[in-house]
Amino acid sequence: MATTTLTTLAEFEKAARQKTSEFAWSYVSRPGKDGQTHTDNRQAFKRYRLIPRNLRDVYIRDTSVTILGTKLDFPIAIAPTATHRLLHPDAESATARGAASMNTAMVLSSWSEHSLEKVAAAAPRGVRWFYLLFYRDRGRMKRLLVRAERAGYTAIVLTADQPFFTFSFRKVPSTLPMPLWFPNIYLEDVPPGALGSLELADYFKKTIKEAATWEDVEWVRKNTRLPVVLKGILSVEDAKMAVRLGIDAVLVSNHGGRQLDGGPATIDVLTNIVRAVGGEAEVYLDGGVRTGTDVLKALALGARCVFIGRPALWGLACNGAEGVQQVLQILKDELNLTMARSGCAKISDIQPSLVVHESYYLYRQMLHLPRNGNNMIPKSKY
């Protein structure tokens, strides 16, 4: 199916599945454990209902937004994800070009298969942030921070919700359609071992610091001139701690449901995090965003921008940079239309009053149910 005929993210997901190897699709789609959190990320958006304001002048809409001082054409950016070459030979460079063509941001993963300098050269006018791992050797971290600054990256992203990594790469096929390597992690150009090998797993164990702490986050903030974004925040306490340490933005995320299964959907905790930071840091969200309506709901509940992970990879698998651009264009167009139908001409018009949780209606219905002699709501016979 030609990508020009694809009009929704659901269609891109189906088309990408047909184009992608079994191993690659399994890796990209894998939820954590039973997939409860992964599934709930999507379903939770449906629990919020829109209350539109009508008869407003929405003939012209402006979807632009400013995040960390940079103006984007719309508040939808690309989250850090690993090993894009599994989906397209141009890997992260193609993803960066797709994002740049839409004037939105991309977070480059440390697990990318193109170096941060190569990705910068592929999309020199793009808005790029760098996702930095915590290393045992802080000298290496400092060198990576300097490299990111020199290459034009405008923010550093740290992940808070991944205390341990799975370095075994289980179920890696004996032969892959292309070699995989991680130039932002290796010190040398030659990988220390094949993907799935004990040598490579041992290298990662000795190099990457697992179970990082707030002290590591504070060290990064003090050792870079770039804004710092903390990704993986779900609790009010962690949000307040991030603010106390001077973090510039928090990304409400549960890692796409790939880490701790059984946690809440990100949209369900968003308002608590927004309230906790009290305007002292920008708040973003990822997890389960599949339509422009989802985007508007997240913005109404306090997110300044949303990030997508898997959908960008579906576009990449279908048609490289152009596929990424098409996925972003679909979301932008859907957001634009949803804004018009909700009475919003610009992003600042999207207010909390536009959204209500479905439990509000359930509660009102219960209040008006007939009661028995004990003043109790009768149980349904079903």
Predicted model pTM: 0.92
Is 86 inside any structural domain? yes
Residues 94-133: b if buried by 16+ CB within 10 A, e if exposed:
bbbbbbbbbbbbbbbbbbbbbbbebbbebbeebbbbbbbb
Domain span holding position 208: 3-365
As a whole number, mean pLDDT of residues 179-205 equals: 80
Is 179 inside any structural domain? yes
pLDDT higher than 70, residue 381? no
As a whole number, mean pLDDT of residues 163-180 equals: 60
Is 374 inside any structural domain? no
The pLDDT score that the predictor gives to residue 127 is: 98
Residue 23 binned pLDDT confidence (cut-offs 50, 70, 90): confident
For residues 343 and 5, which has the higher predicted lDDT (pLDDT)?
Answer: 343
Residue 80 assigned ligand-binding role: yes
Nearest-angstrom CA–CA distance, 355 and 45: 11
255 is catalytic: yes
State pLDDT tens for residues 312-330: 999 999 999 999 999 999 9
The pLDDT score that the predictor gives to residue 227 is: 98
Is 61 inside any structural domain? yes
* Strands in the chain per DSSP E: 48-50, 65-67, 70-72, 76-78, 105-108, 127-131, 156-159, 228-233, 249-252, 282-286, 305-308, 355-357
Neighbours of 171 (CB within 10 A): 10
Residue 382 assigned ligand-binding role: no
Residue 279 assigned ligand-binding role: no
Is 376 inside any structural domain? no
The pLDDT score that the predictor gives to residue 162 is: 80
Residue 169 binned pLDDT confidence (cut-offs 50, 70, 90): low
User: Which position among 38, 88, 255, 368 bears the catalytic label?
Assistant: 255
Is 379 inside any structural domain? no
As a whole number, mean pLDDT of residues 248-262 equals: 91
Residue 8 assigned ligand-binding role: no
DSSP 171: T
The pLDDT score that the predictor gives to residue 366 is: 72
The pLDDT score that the predictor gives to residue 171 is: 57
pLDDT higher than 80, residue 370? no
Residue 289 assigned ligand-binding role: yes
Residue 378 binned pLDDT confidence (cut-offs 50, 70, 90): very low
Q: Is the Cβ–Cβ distance between 171 and 23 less than 8 Å?
A: yes
Is 26 inside any structural domain? yes
Residue 20 binned pLDDT confidence (cut-offs 50, 70, 90): very high
The pLDDT score that the predictor gives to residue 167 is: 58
State pLDDT tens for residues 66-78: 999 999 999 999 9
Mean pLDDT, rounded, of the chain: 91
- Our count of domains for the chain comes to 1
State pLDDT tens for residues 256-280: 888 888 899 999 999 999 999 999 9
pLDDT higher than 70, residue 125? yes
User: At 349, which CATH number?
Assistant: 3.20.20.70
Q: Is 261 exposed, middle or buried (0-12, 13-18, 19+ CB in 10 A)?
A: middle
Is 370 inside any structural domain? no
User: What is the Cβ-side half-sphere exposure of residue 365, based on CA atoms within 13 angstroms?
Assistant: 6
Residue 231 assigned ligand-binding role: yes
